Amino acid sequence: MMTKITREYLQQLDEKDGLAKFRNEFYLNDQVIYLNGNSLGLLSRRAEASLNEVMEMWKQYGIDGWMKGKRPWFYFTDELSELMAPLVGAAPEEVCVTGSTTTNIHQMIATLYQPTKERYKILADELNFPSDIYALKSQLALKGYHEDALVQVQSRDGQTLLTDDIIAQMTDDIALILLPSVLYRSGQVLDMKTLTEEAHRRGIVIGFDLCHSIGSLPHELNAWDVDFAVWCTYKHLNGGPGSIGGLYINEKHHVHAPGLAGWFGSDKNKQFDMEHDFSQAIDAGAYQIGTPHMLSAAPLIGALEMMNEATIDAVRAKSLLMTDLLIELVTEHLVPLGFIITTPLDHHARGGHLYIEHDEAARITKAMKAEGIIPDFRAPKGIRLSPVALYNTFTELYDTVSIIKSIMTEEKYREYKNEREVVA
């Protein structure tokens, strides 16, 4: 890397950027640098078009939209599974676009968590997103266990997890493991392949929450023999606020009846027989619970088509270069002003965002927004910066750091209270 990065150098990178053409497909505000794509991705024209297509079908066909038109709604999630499968390294039959992250966790745990007297605990970690932990505690309670049946791997630095520490907790009483692929604060990527191998060596079912990696880095869930995974689609996949989630369940587990059965998990040829005996689908579609939420699923057609056109490998390469450059800029200009980088510096251990900390982070974030930079605050003192390969530019990185530097040197942050907003 260069010792000093100039704006001119970053302009040259923008001119050579093979993904630059996709920026024009998004609705952008010229007065804003949007670096919060790991919370909510921006709207693209393709996503808007596929949403409008479903709206037009509703307008034209009414109830007949389920079986008429270019994309009959009854088979809509099958097409989404085809588009999603390459992003997680799975066969389409192992993927289902359905529900939300948390409901899909409930479904996977209800299906694959099969405790015995000797093996009944669930292993997670202390750095995971709260909703995952709520779901695990809920599932344990439903099975009659107390919270001490949830084992959480401890972090040595409050930011990252060591692979060896996770493996050390894979004891004989662990029945199932759920871990994040990328830690939502620090952006650390866990070694999913090694963790899966070690879990299986001990006879433990293992799954991952891919919310902060899907659409940001490649996965090989099938090759790694991961048992299950869940994810959202509104971050790096740009599916829209509250867009439909997704799940992966390894083909070897398709023999299991869904823990939470619902009629859209039926064999499609029998679904409308209206029988009270459940005939489940033979693939991951069996783990759908209810009718697809068409208006939150529709934008994904356009969003996923664009992602696959760009290719996840190209997205990952640009993303890593952007965070490399951002690390260099922050180190040069912001670390002397009291900022700390907590994201791992090694490529293999870093996801798609940079996490920096400062004691005045809440008020700094407010000042950044006032200056046209949209970051993400995480209490008590974290700022996430997520340059998205499909719509952020390299020069925006320089401008972002320059603005933060001016906020600090001119003490503009002192105009705001150092406390989070209701939604942070």
Q: Are 61 and 54 in contact (CB under 8 A)?
A: no
Rounded Cα–Cα distance for residues 49 and 27 (Å): 13
Residue 207 clears pLDDT 50, i.e. is over it: yes
Map 172-212 to HEC letters: CCEEEEEEECECCCCCEECCHHHHHHHHHHCCCEEEEECCC
Domain count of the chain? 2
Residue 234 lies in a domain: yes
Residue 263 assigned to a binding site: yes
Residue 132 assigned to a binding site: yes
* pLDDT computed for residue 2 by the predictor: 47
184 — pLDDT class (breaks 50, 70, 90): very high
Residue 344 assigned to a binding site: no
Give the pLDDT confidence of 146-157 residue by residue, as tens digits.
999 999 999 999
Give the pLDDT confidence of 75-88 residue by residue, as tens digits.
999 999 999 999 99
Contacts of 283 (CB under 8 A, 6+ apart): 93, 94, 96, 254
Residue 231 assigned to a binding site: no
Are 185 and 206 within one domain?
A: yes
Give the pLDDT confidence of 348-387 residue by residue, as tens digits.
999 999 999 999 999 999 999 999 999 999 999 999 999 9
Task: Please give the residue range of the domain that contains residue 359.
Answer: 7-31+311-413
Domain with 54 in it: what CATH number? 3.40.640.10
Are 304 and 320 within one domain?
A: no
Which residue, 289, 309, 329, sits at the end of a domain?
309
Which residue, 268, 293, 309, sits at the end of a domain?
309
Are 319 and 290 within one domain?
A: no
Contacts of 112 (CB under 8 A, 6+ apart): 176, 205, 207, 227, 228, 249, 253, 256, 259
Q: What is the mean pLDDT of residues 174-203?
A: 98
Which residue, 258, 278, 309, sits at the end of a domain?
309
Residue 414 clears pLDDT 70, i.e. is over it: yes
pTM exceeds 0.85, yes or no: yes
* pLDDT computed for residue 1 by the predictor: 44
Residue 129 assigned to a binding site: yes
Residue 419 lies in a domain: no
Give the pLDDT confidence of 257-308 residue by residue, as tens digits.
999 999 999 999 998 989 999 999 999 999 999 999 999 999 999 999 999 9
Number of H helices, E strands in the chain: 13, 13
Are 64 and 169 within one domain?
A: yes
Give the pLDDT confidence of 159-182 residue by residue, as tens digits.
999 999 999 999 999 999 999 999
Residue 424 clears pLDDT 80, i.e. is over it: no
Residue 342 clears pLDDT 60, i.e. is over it: yes
Q: What is the mean pLDDT of residues 239-268?
A: 96
Q: What is the mean pLDDT of residues 392-419?
A: 96
Q: What is the mean pLDDT of residues 97-111?
A: 98
Residue 293 assigned to a binding site: no
Assigned token pair, 423 = 């939604």
420 — pLDDT class (breaks 50, 70, 90): confident
* pLDDT computed for residue 3 by the predictor: 60
The owner of tokens 């093979």 is 18
Are 319 and 294 within one domain?
A: no
Give the pLDDT confidence of 41-78 residue by residue, as tens digits.
999 999 999 999 999 999 999 999 999 999 999 999 99
Are 296 and 322 within one domain?
A: no
Residue 14 lies in a domain: yes
Residue 209 assigned to a binding site: yes
Residue 423 lies in a domain: no
* pLDDT computed for residue 418 by the predictor: 86
Residue 130 assigned to a binding site: yes
Q: Is 121 helix (H, G, I), strand (E, B) or coil?
A: strand
Average pLDDT value for the chain? 96
